[in-house]
Amino acid sequence: MVDQFFNNAGSTFESHEITADQIRTVKACIDGTISPTEAAKQLTAYLEASSKPVELQQRINGLWTLLNHTAVALPSAQPTIISILRTIRTFPKATVPTGEDEDAFDFDDGDYWKELTDWASDWADQFNYYAAQFSIDPSKNSEEKAQRKKDWISACAYTARLSVCGDEALSSYGEGLNRATFTIIDVLEHDLGDKENEELEAAAQLFIYAAPELYRRCKENQSEGINKQSGLWHGKNGFAEARWKFWMERWEAMTEKDSFSKDARKIAREALESMKKICT
């Protein structure tokens, strides 16, 4: 799967300011040939060599697209991608080129590595794209529909992992997980009877990888980040311990649904077990 993705990467990223060397660097890091630290150095060198402001902006956008898109396409590589991003955050202030239209861009006074300039907006756009591709835009065929579902599940896993990586910037200061909570509502707070919810596995990723953060919000009764919609939950808006308990009951019920596939019951069990590890 990794080789197939990178064999097609040239065409995948041809409309972006991304070099073949950068693509090879990401692959080498995922393969374990080079460390995330070395990968980060090689990936950012191309950007620091920019001679014009517009060139730097295009290369910044290209780098974030490369890393975020790869993280979704290759779920097993997500920890590696996050390590690269965390390393980039430690890099010192860099030179900002001057020239035509320099006032049109904001490079955080040269701290574009520390601030991950425009990274959060790139991931927000990509996350919303995967959500729309799965739930709104009609698929041409069953193969395309299956791929979109796979990407959506992976996007939720990536968001969940980012939310607990220990870096506020990479969690988008909590907004990354906030964008995904509607999936929790769709799966756990609406009853489809014996019908299996197509978003079940996507919602499960949020608990498998981000249960500590979700539980923290519930313990602190955080009012922002999740809304109440008509459905099975009759409590207040926001996070709450009662809502956490309700979610556990819902996952447990799904593990016992005979009408659900074996895989669906298994992923529900994984989500439930992740919750139990946090609060017991």
User: What is the token pair recorded at 190?
Assistant: 């609406």
In a 13 Å sphere around the CA of 207, the CA atoms on its Cβ side amount to: 30
Does some domain include residue 149? no
In this structure, are 166 and 270 located in the same domain?
yes
The pLDDT value given to residue 228: 77
In this structure, are 90 and 162 located in the same domain?
no
| Closest by CA position to 114, among listed 83, 85, 89 | 89
pLDDT at 137 over 90: no
pLDDT tens string 155-167: 999 999 999 999 9
In this structure, are 93 and 183 located in the same domain?
no
Does some domain include residue 163? yes
Q: How confident is the model at residue 64 (pLDDT cuts 50, 70, 90)?
A: very high
Does some domain include residue 200? yes
Q: Which amino acid is at 230?
A: S
Percent of the chain beyond pLDDT 70?
A: 99
Mean pLDDT in residue range 104-119: 95
d(CA 108, CA 104): 12
Work out how many domains the chain is built from and give that number: 2
According to DSSP, residue 95 is labeled -
d(CA 147, CA 111): 37
Mean pLDDT in residue range 13-18: 94
Does some domain include residue 122? no
pLDDT at 227 over 90: no
In this structure, are 113 and 173 located in the same domain?
no
Tell me which of 63, 86, 117 is where a domain ends.
117
Asked if 270 contacts 208 with a C-beta cutoff of 8 angstroms, the reply is yes
Give me the helix-helix angle, 20-31 and 78-88, nearest 10°: 120
In this structure, are 87 and 169 located in the same domain?
no
In this structure, are 162 and 241 located in the same domain?
yes
Percent of the chain beyond pLDDT 90?
A: 91
pTM: 0.96
In this structure, are 108 and 161 located in the same domain?
no
In this structure, are 105 and 170 located in the same domain?
no
pLDDT at 68 over 90: yes
d(CA 7, CA 54): 29
Does some domain include residue 151? no
Q: What's the N-to-C CA distance of the chain in angstroms?
A: 38
pLDDT tens string 166-198: 999 999 999 999 999 999 999 999 989 899 999
In this structure, are 161 and 272 located in the same domain?
yes
Does some domain include residue 222? yes
Tell me which of 117, 135, 167 is where a domain ends.
117
pLDDT at 280 over 80: no
Q: Does residue 221 or residue 228 have the better pLDDT?
A: 221
Write down the mean pLDDT value for the chain. 95
In this structure, are 24 and 102 located in the same domain?
yes
pLDDT tens string 237-278: 899 999 999 999 999 999 999 999 999 999 999 999 999 999
Tell me which of 89, 117, 145 is where a domain ends.
117
What string of H, E and C letters represents the secondary structure of 150-168?
A: HHHHHHHHHHHHHHCCCCC
Does some domain include residue 17? yes
In this structure, are 108 and 165 located in the same domain?
no
Domain span including residue 57: 2-117
> Please, is 116 exposed, middle or buried when counting C-beta atoms within 10 Å of its C-beta (0-12, 13-18, 19+)?
buried
Does some domain include residue 273? yes
In this structure, are 185 and 247 located in the same domain?
yes
